[in-house]
Amino acid sequence: MAEYSTQEDHEMSVSTPTNIAEVKERNRALIQEVLSVYPEKTAKRRAKHLNVHEEGKSDCGVKSNIKSIPGVMTIRGCAYAGSKGVVWGPIKDMIHISHGPVGCGQYSWASRRNYYVGTTGIDTFGTMQFTSDFQEKDIVFGGDKKLAKIIDEIEELFPLNKGISVQSECPIGLIGDDIEAVSKAKSKEHGGKTIVPVRCEGFRGVSQSLGHHIANDAIRDWVFDKSEGKAPNFEPGPYDVAIIGDYNIGGDAWSSRILLEEMGLRVVAQWSGDGTIAELEATPKAKLNVLHCYRSMNYISRHMEEKYGIPWVEYNFFGPSKIEESLRKIASYFDEKIQAGAEAVIAKYKPLMQAVIDKYKPRLAGKKVMLYVGGLRPRHVIGAYEDLGMEVVGTGYEFGHNDDYQRTAQHYVKDGTLIYDDVTGYEFEKFVETVKPDLVGSGIKEKYVFQKMGVPFRQMHSWDYSGPYHGYDGFAIFARDMDMAINSPVWKLPAAPWKQDPDYVAIAAE
């Protein structure tokens, strides 16, 4: 951090004058205040998800990965969203059937910005919506025959597809369909084609999270086990790595891959942004799995470690401080050549990073941020904000587990940070109203709520249609975007001048 200091660091204080004890007291009172609106039973349950972080604690002191409470307006999604929307959807040369009624596939159609390159509809299918569009008769009589027919029709009309996944929507598990049997039979019929049944019905689990796990397991059972013994298309080398848990949102995986390649590594697979089935199949040949989104892909990383002896390492490519740390950490798994490569990459980009910080830090230093996102971002982006002299004063996970909160407490958040797990619409609104951050980073459902309140906002799931944010190239974009959000002239306009001018009011009243 000190390496990227600017002159302004010595002139302006990074945090507001409020002392930490006062902040903690305010945050605790705030939690009590929001809890007071709930019926008693709900207040008791929600209390466990809200906390003020105490420095030195091993986690954030909140319960997580627990069922959302009915009727409170949780921001969470479902297992289908975690499997089809996150893990499987980006595998570009496969066709992913949203199996069940039309809605799930429709709402998640091309909305996650998993960038890819390919001929859509011919050899690539990422921004398409394939659905079995269940009708009442399918619910009553079962959808297995329909699924079998769908697979045949896909083979006829989309002959260049490299595989099919069946993404179960709620009814599938409720009506007792046997999608495994259909998948197996059809795979055999179509020459051993990869057909993957995924039991990611939306009612399973408590959030997207179980969908990630189920999707990981499906890769294990229906891709790895099937492709065992199959030689990859390339000769394995000593520096082969796989990027795990990067969905290439706005091109994130590409701006990450470029750094790994520049330091001398060879990236043999991307999971799953701009990914292909061949890359999935080849990954057990990698020497190291580098894991960005721990939450959604730790399962498959652990499996590959156990079964194939491939170590995995978590990294963070948001902001130069964390990138630097991560490049060195990744390099430490390899020889001096790669370690020297990492140092060369760090040195190469240092002037660019300094230029970005010189330009944006003076405009952003001291600004307070509140986050509420999913996956890795409630902690991973904190370093990037801090590189710009900003301070994250509140954060929470949509579907995190305790291991996420441990990582957050041990490596990321400051004393007194407001922590909110599975926050409700009401709580988030009240927290922002009182804490008055300069920026909120969350999702599309939250964006307009806070902008109406006059609070600058960036979507931190989709990068608000910008990106990439990963890597050195991405950090420049991140800095630019945070600046344009906070320092947009529009935020001077929400209050009508005549409503603020006491003289005008007095004159008008006469």
Name the minimum Å distance from CB 301 to other proteins.
19
User: Given the complex with other proteins, which of 2 and 496 has the nearer CB atom?
Assistant: 496
Residue 271 near residue 297, CB atoms below 8 Å = yes
Contacts of 308 (CB under 8 A, 6+ apart): 284
Name the minimum Å distance from CB 169 to other proteins.
7
Question: Which one of 112, 113, 199, 257 is the catalytic residue?
Answer: 112
Contacts of 486 (CB under 8 A, 6+ apart): 363, 364, 367, 438, 439, 456
Per the annotation, the verdict on 379 as an active-site residue is no
* Strands ordered across the beta sheet of 418-420: 50-52, 418-420, 391-395, 368-371, 439-442, 457-459
User: Given the complex with other proteins, which of 22 and 67 has the nearer CB atom?
Assistant: 67
* C-alpha to C-alpha distance for 233 and 230, rounded to whole angstroms: 9
Question: Which one of 78, 79, 282, 365 is the catalytic residue?
Answer: 78
* C-alpha to C-alpha distance for 18 and 59, rounded to whole angstroms: 25
User: Given the complex with other proteins, which of 317 and 349 has the nearer CB atom?
Assistant: 349
* C-alpha to C-alpha distance for 285 and 227, rounded to whole angstroms: 12
User: Given the complex with other proteins, which of 318 and 412 has the nearer CB atom?
Assistant: 318
Contacts of 469 (CB under 8 A, 6+ apart): 250, 252, 318, 381, 384, 463, 475, 477, 478, 481
How open is the CA angle 180-273-184, to the nearest 5 degrees? 15
Per the annotation, the verdict on 200 as an active-site residue is no
Residue 226 near residue 194, CB atoms below 8 Å = yes
User: Given the complex with other proteins, which of 215 and 413 has the nearer CB atom?
Assistant: 215
Contacts of 132 (CB under 8 A, 6+ apart): 97, 98, 99, 100, 138, 143, 146, 147, 150
Per the annotation, the verdict on 295 as an active-site residue is no
Question: Which one of 46, 49, 60, 81 is the catalytic residue?
Answer: 81
* C-alpha to C-alpha distance for 152 and 145, rounded to whole angstroms: 11
User: Given the complex with other proteins, which of 76 and 414 has the nearer CB atom?
Assistant: 76
Per the annotation, the verdict on 509 as an active-site residue is no
Question: Which one of 212, 379, 380, 407 is the catalytic residue?
Answer: 212
Catalytically active residues are 78, 81, 112, 212
